[in-house]
């Protein structure tokens, strides 16, 4: 086996088609930009932009969009050896509407089934997963078989050999729900959360880090208070719980008693959709660097804020120099 990767992520990949006009409903948009997308892939890109050796485990269709995603991963310096084609399924595309500062509706085209949900346990390179300095999985990977079984098999092979991050990544429409968690999801949202929770709890037993916003933490814990969510995640087996709170900043709680509460980094938002993935890549960079909680959260916040000022997700991920210059100017 080659030298271990700094980061291996496992989960969604697809093509993001973002409007080149902001403040315009999708029906009225005339031109779009094409970008690599999918949370797990974006996190791998974010870490690569920060100088980390990263790879992603996912699948595409055997089509021109799949070819584009391989090309984009390579251009970003992300190893695509474990991104394989599925013959009879199209590569997913995702559209969004851009209404700054805080309204960015997403429209997923992942039917009849997304190729990234057709990862089989027997296809996994368990040795590489166990050896990676950080392994990252997402909640979406648990929503359907065979991806669910493959995700849990990867976690079992990993066996907490090093930092193992569970991105809670709640997308209720992938679980038969509608809207968002809690107040936005209504009855179907509640049913979707109930369907997801046992699998989230199973994954948490293998994770050392859990990261997500309050809605996502609620799926895993049934709670909404950030401090209570963090404590519940620790009780479910992780060593570090990171709760993103939007305008209230971020809360990080470690099993050893360390706590960091970091305020948000105010910026003029262009598109907020990539901020969480930039935060994730920077979080991995901080973990690999051995930083304490507060500087790590400040750095991750800064990376997310920088991406929020830009239109794209993957191609907007900042470099070390950009994050450091941004922090120096605060």
* pTM (predicted TM-score): 0.95
Query: Per-residue confidence at 187, pLDDT binned at 50, 70, 90?
Result: low
Q: What does the block give as tokens for 260?
A: 């960091």
Please say whether the beta carbons of 132 and 4 come within 8 A: yes
* Strand-by-strand arrangement of the 106-109 sheet: 32-37, 14-19, 93-96, 106-109
Tell me, what's the pLDDT at 1?
52
Q: Is 212 helix (H, G, I), strand (E, B) or coil?
A: strand
Q: What does the block give as tokens for 211?
A: 């990261």
Q: Element (H or E) spanning 182, and its range?
A: none
- Superfamily designation of domain 7-329: Ribokinase (3.40.1190.20)
Contacts of 119 (CB under 8 A, 6+ apart): 10, 57, 58, 59, 141, 146, 147, 150, 151
Query: Per-residue confidence at 185, pLDDT binned at 50, 70, 90?
Result: very low
Tell me, what's the pLDDT at 179?
46
Tell me, what's the pLDDT at 188?
57
């Amino acid at each position: 086996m080659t030298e271990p990767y700094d980061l291996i992520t496992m989960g969604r990949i697809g093509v993001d088609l973002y409007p080149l006009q902001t403040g315009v409903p999708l029906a009225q948009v005339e031109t779009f930009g094409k970008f690599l997308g999918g949370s797990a892939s974006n996190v791998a890109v974010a870490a690569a932009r920060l100088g980390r050796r990263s790879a992603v485990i996912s699948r595409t269709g055997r089509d021109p969009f799949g070819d584009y995603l391989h090309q984009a991963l390579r251009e970003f310096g992300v190893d695509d050896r474990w991104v394989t084609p599925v013959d009879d399924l199209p590569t997913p595309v995702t559209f969004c509407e851009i209404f700054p500062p805080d309204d960015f509706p997403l429209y997923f085209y992942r039917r009849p089934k997304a190729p990234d949900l057709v990862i089989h346990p027997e296809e996994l390179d368990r040795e590489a997963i166990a050896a990676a300095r950080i392994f990252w999985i997402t909640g979406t990977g648990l929503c359907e078989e065979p991806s669910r079984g493959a995700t849990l098999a990867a976690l079992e092979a990993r066996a907490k050999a090093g930092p193992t991050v569970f991105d809670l990544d709640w997308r209720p429409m992938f679980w038969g729900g509608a809207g968002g968690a809690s107040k936005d999801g209504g009855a179907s949202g509640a049913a979707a959360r109930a369907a997801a929770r046992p699998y989230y709890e199973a994954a948490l037993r293998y994770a050392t880090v859990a990261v997500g916003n309050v809605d996502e933490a609620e799926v895993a814990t049934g709670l909404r208070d950030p401090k209570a969510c963090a404590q519940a995640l620790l009780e479910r087996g992780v060593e570090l719980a990171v709760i993103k709170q939007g305008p209230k900043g971020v809360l990080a709680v470690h099993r050893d008693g360390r706590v960091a509460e970091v305020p948000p980094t105010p910026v003029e938002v262009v598109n907020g959709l990539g901020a969480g993935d930039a935060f994730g890549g920077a979080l991995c960079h901080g973990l690999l660097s051995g930083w304490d909680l507060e500087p790590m959260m400040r750095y991750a916040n800064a990376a997310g804020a920088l991406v929020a000022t830009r239109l794209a997700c993957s191609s907007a991920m900042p470099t070390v120099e950009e994050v450091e210059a941004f922090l120096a100017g605060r």
